[in-house]
Amino acid sequence: MLYRDFATQEEIDRQYDPMQGRDPAVLVDDWRRRSQRARLRHRVSEDIAFGPSLAERMDVYHAEGERPPVHLFFHGGYWRSLGHKEFGFVVDGLVEAGITVAVVNYALCPAVAFGEVVRQSRAALAWMHRHGESLGVDPARLSISGHSAGGHLCAMLLATDWEGVYGLPHDPIRGALAVSGLYDLRPFPWSWLQPKLQLTGRDVADYSPLFLPCRVPAKVHLVAGAEESGEFERQMLAQAEHLHGQGVEVDHDLLAGDDHFSILEHYRAGGRFAELIGAWHR
């Protein structure tokens, strides 16, 4: 067996290629149009640098009010495609709820090693904690979420020793929402993604949240879509059990009727993700 009960790459690919049956160009073009409308609708500080490389940028969508809370969103794309400009459409419900949103960009594999993607995501949070006041937000009220690969990155942020490595408080995250996240990297070296990701055995061990301690006492919510492949639900349940065993306050939910992409619509105003994140900051 290559991974669990999967004996062939084709079996793994069927579980981990959510674009099967979709036209990716149509999907991404729609996200880009909606994101452009969001940039016109809100006050935005575009391409703020949080690190030295060109990829280390974030678009910050400002909420009204004095020192609002701040939310960092990490996009999907299996660590090897897309960027922050495609995902501005997720901010509307949060900004309307009085939460400033930073949509984070990061370098992509294979131009950088997998670990560099994780490092840049950590750098984004560290920068916001140290410099958020310059944007008018309250960095002590910070939450995170991410979709697919972004859900994995959120889990890695929860597994970070913020005090020992970054000199930040040990609890810089108030709440974390991981949407259709990947927490066990073991299938990917055997998948269609490996030519882009170039994962090593050390990468799988070091960057699989399922095998790492959770170091941040945040509220955690894990979700997947009922119309996704069974592996997305299984990964969610395994991560929930892993966190629960460490005493983490974690909930999980399988959303009826949602696939890997429609699930993002819950960020809309009045949607369950907007409501959940808003509740963390009340």
What pLDDT, in 10s, does the model give residues 55-109? Answer: 999 999 999 999 999 999 999 999 999 999 999 999 999 999 999 999 999 999 9
- What is the domain range of residue 79? 9-280
Q: H-type helices in 207-280, by residue range?
A: 230-244, 272-280
Residue 22's pLDDT is: 82
Residue 47's pLDDT is: 98
The verdict on residue 63 lying in a domain is yes
The pTM assigned to this predicted structure is 0.98
More confident residue, 24 or 118: 118
Under the phi-then-psi rule, with left for phi > 0, alpha for psi from -120 to 50, and beta for the rest, what region is 154? alpha
Under the phi-then-psi rule, with left for phi > 0, alpha for psi from -120 to 50, and beta for the rest, what region is 136? left
Domain count, the chain: 1
Residue 232's pLDDT is: 98
pLDDT band at 21 (very low <50, low <70, confident <90, very high): confident
The verdict on residue 187 lying in a domain is yes
Q: Is 160 helix (H, G, I), strand (E, B) or coil?
A: coil
The verdict on residue 3 lying in a domain is no
The verdict on residue 189 lying in a domain is yes
The verdict on residue 2 lying in a domain is no
pLDDT > 90 fraction of the chain, expressed in percent and rounded: 96
DSSP structural state of residue 107: -
Mean predicted confidence (pLDDT) in 191-209: 98
Q: Say whether pLDDT at 211 is over 90.
A: yes
The verdict on residue 196 lying in a domain is yes
Contact in structure between 186 and 228 (CB atoms under 8 Å): no
Residue 269's pLDDT is: 87
Mean predicted confidence (pLDDT) in 136-153: 98
The verdict on residue 23 lying in a domain is yes
The verdict on residue 152 lying in a domain is yes
CATH (domain of 140): 3.40.50.1820
CB count within 10 Å of CB 222 equals 26
Our measurement of the distance from residue 117's CA atom to the centroid of its chain's CA atoms, rounded to an integer in Å, reads 12
